[in-house]
Chain A
Amino acid sequence: GQNIDQPTEMTATEGAIVQINCTYQTSGFNGLFWYQQHAGEAPTFLSYNVLDGLEEKGRFSSFLSRSKGYSYLLLKELQMKDSASYLCAVLDSNYQLIWGAGTKLIIKP
């Protein structure tokens, strides 16, 4: 079967750095997405990786290793507004998006 694994919950301190991991086992691979979802709100797009390596976008970076079936989202200089769930999703060989259950990130002052 197809599977996306990410931690259920993480806690970090304001101003610090946090890394949210995502591992996947899918039938084929056509890219990996990260979305942010604040409680009670719609998910919003953060990043898309299809090649190995690190993509940086301001305070957020996303890394992909296709050979390891692994990605991470790195958040720097954490702010209270970064408290949210972070969803990892993989586009499989049929171009179907397979979603993880999300990681709830709690930021403490």
Chain B
Amino acid sequence: ETGVTQTPRHLVMGMTNKKSLKCEQHLGHNAMYWYKQSAKKPLELMFVYSLEERVENNSVPSRFSPECPNSSHLFLHLHTLQPEDSALYLCASSQGRDRGADEQFFGPGTRLTVL
């Protein structure tokens, strides 16, 4: 495996379900990101981890809970989501140098549908 991988690629869940999204990077990077991408809207940064420490949380509802057990893995735990949370969830990683002025490598995303 190379680059950034995400599983599952597609997820349909009810509002009372609990599910988790997984991201893994094979690039030796130190920073990892969760983004939400809705149609015709800008990418929304949700969480940033640097060296396994959460450095940013952009006012994301508590029904989204990130976890970074090590520098290669990132999870997004989902609980009691709303239909408006349906979107493409993208994971990205970067070397973490230059305070963000380095390119980010994205995974293919998880297409989430909340019924």
Interface residues of A (CB under 8 A from B): 4, 8, 30-31, 33, 41-45, 48, 50, 87, 89, 91, 95-102
Contacts of B109 on A, CB cut-off 8 Å?
42
Whether B106 contacts A87 by the Cβ 8 Å rule is no
Size of B's binding interface in residues, CB under 8 A = 19
Complexed CA–CA distance, A33 and B40 (Å):
19
Number of A-B contacts (CB under 8 A): 48
Interface string of B59-84 (1 = CB under 8 A from A): 00000000000000000000000000
Whether B100 contacts A91 by the Cβ 8 Å rule is yes
Does B43 belong to the interface (CB within 8 Å)? yes
Our pick among A8, A43, A100, A101 for the contact of B90 (Cβ within 8 Å) is: A43
Interface residues of B (CB under 8 A from A): 4, 40-45, 56, 90, 99-101, 103-109
Contacts of A100 on B, CB cut-off 8 Å?
42
Whether B101 contacts A8 by the Cβ 8 Å rule is no
Our pick among A44, A87, A91 for the contact of B43 (Cβ within 8 Å) is: A87
